[in-house]
Every structure is written in C-alpha cells, then in structure tokens.
Amino acid sequence: MEEIEYNPQELMVVNAARLLRDGDVVFVGVGIPNLACNLAMRTHAPNLQMIYEAGVIGAQPARLPLSIGDPSLVTGALSVCSMYDIFTLYLQRGNVDVGFLGGAQIDQFGNINATVIGDYAHPKVRLPGSGGSMEIAAWANRCYIITPHQKRRFPARVDFRTSIGFLTGGDARAKTGVRGGGPEAIVTNLGLMKPDETGELVLTALHPGIQFEQVQENTGWAIRQAPNCETTAPPNPEELRILREELDPQRIYI
Amino acid sequence: MEHTTMTTKLISLHNAIKKYVHDGDLLYASGFTHLIPFAAGHEIIRQGIKDLVLARATPDLIYDQMVAAGCARKVIFSYIGNPGVGSLRMVRAGIEKGELEWEEYSHFSMISRLQAGASGLPFMPMKQTGAADLMKHNPQYQQVTDPYTGECVIVVPPLKPDVAIVHVQRSDAQGNAHVWGILGEQRLAAFAAQHVILTAEEIVDEAVIRSDPNRTLIPGLVVDAVCHVPYCAHPSYTQGYHDRDNDFYLAWDEISKTDEGIQAYLKEWVYDLPDRQAYWEKLGPEVHQRLHAGERLSAPVNYGEY
C-alpha cells in the first residue's frame, strides 16, 4: 500500500473533524478549528452550522479567514448579530453543541490556562486572557481542544484556571452548576485524550506509528492509557486533498 | 412655509477629540475587529492626551499604539492579542513590567458591563462559568442569589465610558447612523457612554437614513459629534468599503519588537501627518488596490407606502 504523507497540523485537523457530528452547531475560531469544521462539512457533516464569536451565523467565506472578524465571514452569511446576542441567545441559552478551545496550558482534568504563567499580579508571561473561552468552556454542550503535545502545555496543574474543565475531578464541575458537559476530547499530534468517569484525561487513541512512551514523555503527569486504546486511521487522500487544495491552498495553517 | 434647520453635529475629528477627550478619561473606542477607529486613536496621540483608561474587549493595535505613545494609565480588556498574529507587545510589556494598570474580563462579562451601562441597570447577571480564578483577582465580579430559584449568579457592574468613539459606514449630520457587517459592541458603547464621537465613511442625507430605518443602529440622539473620516478604520476594516490589512497586522508584530521601531512608526505615520486623509494618501495606490472591497449588494426590501 502506498504510504500517505501528512504533517502534524493535517493530522490534528483531520482527527478533530472526525469528532464533529452532522447537524452540530459549532462555536468556532479561526485557524485549525475553522479548517476542521470546514473539512467535516465537506465530508461526513454537511449540515454542520458554524457560529463565530464575532456574531456571524452560517458563514460561507469565499477565502480562508485570517482573523475572527474577517469581512469574508459576513458576506453571504445567514445572519449577523451583536456580541451580546451571540453570547446570550446562542451560547448562554444552550444553542451551541460544540466549542473549540485552546490555551497555553491544559491540565490533568482539562482545565485551561490562557491568562498567565507565574503569579497573576506579577506575571512572568502575560498571555492573551479569556476572550470567549471562559463561557464557551462552561456553556457549550461539549468542547474539543486541539493542541500540539508538549510537556509544558500539559502540566499536572495549570498556573491559572481561565476556563473550566473538570476542576479537581469527580463531581467538582457538576457542583458549580455550569450548564455544559465540558471537554470531550483533546486532539494532539500524538493521539487523543478523553476524560474518564472522574474527569481525568486518559489516552484513548494513538496516531499511527506513535508509541505510548512518547505521550508519557510529553505529558506532565503520569498519564494512563485506556484499556481499549485504539490507533487512529491515518488521514485519507480525500481529506488531505480537500485540506490542501480547497481549504488552505496557501498552507497558512497546515 | 418656513422650516427651522437642525443644528449640524458635523465637526472635524481634530476638534471633536479636543472637545470631548480629556486627560484621565475612561475611553471606549469600539469595534470588534471591524470598524476600529484608528484615525481617532492617532488624533489622540497627536494631541498628547494622557492618563486615559482605555477600555476595549480586544485592545488591538489601536490601544497598543496609544499605550506605546504614552496616552494610557490603565487598560480594561478581555483579550490582549494581535488578532490572527500573536502577542500584543506594548500592552503585554506594560503589564509584565508593572507600568500599566489593568482590569480583566472575559468577552461576555466585558460586553455585559456595557449592556448594563447602556441599559441604565445597576448590574448584569450571567450564568456560572466555574472559572473562579479571574473572579478572585477582579473584585468587580460578584455573586448574588437569584431571588426566583435561589441559585447563585455572577454579576458585573455597568461600564460607563466618559467617551465612546464609534466608526460607522454612513451617518447623517445629526449622527443617525447605518452600520452593517460585524456589529460587535458598537451600539452598546454608544448608549453606555457619556459622550459619543461618531466617525463615518460617508455623510449622507437624512433621507438615505430614513430609507432603511432598521439599519440605524445608532440614533443621533446619543451622538455629540459627527466626523467625516473615510478610511478611519485602517488597518482594521469597514465592511463594503475596504478590506482588513492583514499585512499591516503582521508588520506591527515586527515594528513593535523594538522601541526604535515603534517611535519611528509613530513619527512617520502619526506625528508627521496632519490627518487621516494624508495617512490614506501616504499608504499609496498599491495598498488601496489590495484593500479594495468589491461589490456584493443586498436585495432591497419594501417598507411599503402608507
């Protein structure tokens, strides 16, 4: 069989796209999540609905959007509303199935830090902060995180909890009364992690050719491998063709 | 029959800033990636206004430049990044060095503060987010008991800027303004603020506004000054008028790496230019061509003749 070559970005986009279900309403950012949604739409999820935090519903951008408020998101969209409306009528009300999140640190229980490394008042590194992620993490029915697998990105505990995962595990998240279900999967360049029944992230799939040891080396806690840990199917030629020829021909994000 | 003429609110941007923006003011220059009034930011820099409290969900390059020029004492924000590029170096450095005060929110709580300010409410409630760390560090976040269910809700207080600056596609001389494209927090900022400076790509006859009243997001009754400032939003954009200059957002990442780079930029593009018209001309035909918006008209609607 012919060996298909792909890079880590393509691998993550393809695996994130496969997590989306037809008919999902997705709160999406630019970059990799945007590519994942568009790929899902062109393959198994033609009825996916994309919502951007800038207030755009049903965008059909004619070019690859380079910022969250790109004008190409508006031209030809189904609807455009204010930021207050997008966060209340859509997100807070419970009309969003999937949120995509990212951050500098993700911990053992899927909590995210996008705010600061070091002390908040005297930051060693000041990061961008929440943006929309605090509410997306709390209120979307389910969340996905796409990030490269590096030890510094996966500490046992985050320096600052910008967005909620499963807090300290168990029923800690449920006790806060947040409406959404929390992180459902973390897609990295090495594999997939999902929360177990206590909310702790465990390795549930490895990408082709990756060993569990590589995951452990790049994770800041003693990560467990799920007993039924699978191997993901490699990106197929059609997925790669859509990504390379239709979605990101200039290879900006892949 | 004799008609009384309404006083026009048309004024130059220079004079509007001089009249309404003062040292120490709480300023909200609105626009979520779209319609960011850069020309007004540059005019504030030129006039050497100091100690401003700069509020915006995304401080963006406009506040990065104002912070670099020494206009700001404090920033209030919910995301400090160069959108689609990376770090917002000046604001970030100011915070890391402890030279700039800051007050931080999530996008939704920031916008909720404006909603409270715009609606004349004492606070806005929002559902639990479970993200207690920010609430711990920002005492403006409080919790109250929902009197109907007994559950705890988060509340944030109103944000009431001394001045809001709002860029729009078209306005009449009274400040009745049509806005389309990404609407961000334009409307809330205008209603929340004590004074409103409106900048517009086009000044149109009142009849144009009246031909499509549903598109009037900002009524003249909350507007103090109307300034005709084409291309006010560059390097952000104005839907249907010009594109976002992504190349400049990338370039700023380089420019803002050194103090020399920033000072040279401010000299060449702010201090040494009289106004936005000179700035736009200086950008040159190649940039104008690259940012050309093209045409995609909406289908007309019938309001009916009654």
Q: Is it the case that residue B134 has pLDDT exceeding 50?
A: yes
**DSSP structure class, residue B83:** T
Structural contact between residues B32 and B57, judged by C-beta atoms closer than 8 angstroms: yes
| The Cα angle at residue A65 between residues A60 and A68, in degrees rounded to 5 | 100
Residue A63: predicted pLDDT: 84
Per-residue pLDDT band at A69 (split at 50, 70, 90): confident
Domain ranges of chain A: 8-247
Structural contact between residues A153 and A219, judged by C-beta atoms closer than 8 angstroms: no
Span of B60-69, B82-91, B96-105 with lowest mean pLDDT: B82-91
Catalytic residues of A: 53
Which of B168, B239, B236, B180 lies closest to B204, judged by CA?
Answer: B168
* A195-212 average pLDDT score: 97
- A221 Cα to chain B: minimum distance (Å): 22
Q: Is it the case that residue B164 has pLDDT exceeding 80?
A: yes
Interface test with A, best of B60, B67, B151, B183 (most A CBs within 10 A): B183
Across the interface, do B182 and A126 touch by the CB < 8 Å criterion? no
Residue type for position B216: T
Q: What is the dihedral of CA A111, A116, A119, A122, to 10 degrees?
A: -160
**Percent with pLDDT over 90 in chain A:** 87
Distance, in Å, from the CA atom of B107 to the CA atom of B191, rounded to the nearest integer, reads 18
Tokens 């003062």 found at: B22
Domain ranges of chain B: 13-122+157-289
Architecture of domain A8-247: 3-Layer(aba) Sandwich (3.40)
Distance, in Å, from the CA atom of B188 to the CA atom of B190, rounded to the nearest integer, reads 5
Residue A62: predicted pLDDT: 84
Residues of chain A positioned with their CB less than 8 A from the CB of B183:
55, 80-83
- Identify which of A67, A124, A164 has the shortest CB distance to residue B129: A164
Structural contact between residues B217 and B67, judged by C-beta atoms closer than 8 angstroms: no
Residue B1: predicted pLDDT: 46
Assign domain B13-122+157-289 to a CATH class.
alpha beta
DSSP A80-142: E--HHHIIIIIIITT--SEEEE--SEE-TT--EE-SEEE-SSSEEEE----TTHHHHHHHSSE
Residues of chain A positioned with their CB less than 8 A from the CB of B125:
none
The answer, yes or no, to whether ipTM is higher than 0.85 is yes
- pLDDT, chain B, mean: 96
Distance, in Å, from the CA atom of A98 to the CA atom of A181, rounded to the nearest integer, reads 10
pLDDT 10s digits, A151-179 = 999 999 999 999 999 999 999 999 999 99
Across the interface, do A83 and B151 touch by the CB < 8 Å criterion? no
Tokens 């919790």 found at: B143
* A191-206 average pLDDT score: 97
- Identify which of B34, B87, B131 has the shortest CB distance to residue A162: B131
- Identify which of A84, A130, A173 has the shortest CB distance to residue B130: A173
**DSSP structure class, residue B3:** -
Across the interface, do A71 and B237 touch by the CB < 8 Å criterion? yes
Q: Is it the case that residue B2 has pLDDT exceeding 60?
A: no
Q: Is it the case that residue B96 has pLDDT exceeding 80?
A: yes
Q: Is it the case that residue A196 has pLDDT exceeding 80?
A: yes
Structure tokens at B154: 């988060």
The tally of CA atoms less than 13 A away on the side-chain side of residue B96 is 17
**Percent with pLDDT over 90 in chain B:** 96
* B254-276 average pLDDT score: 97
- pLDDT, chain A, mean: 94
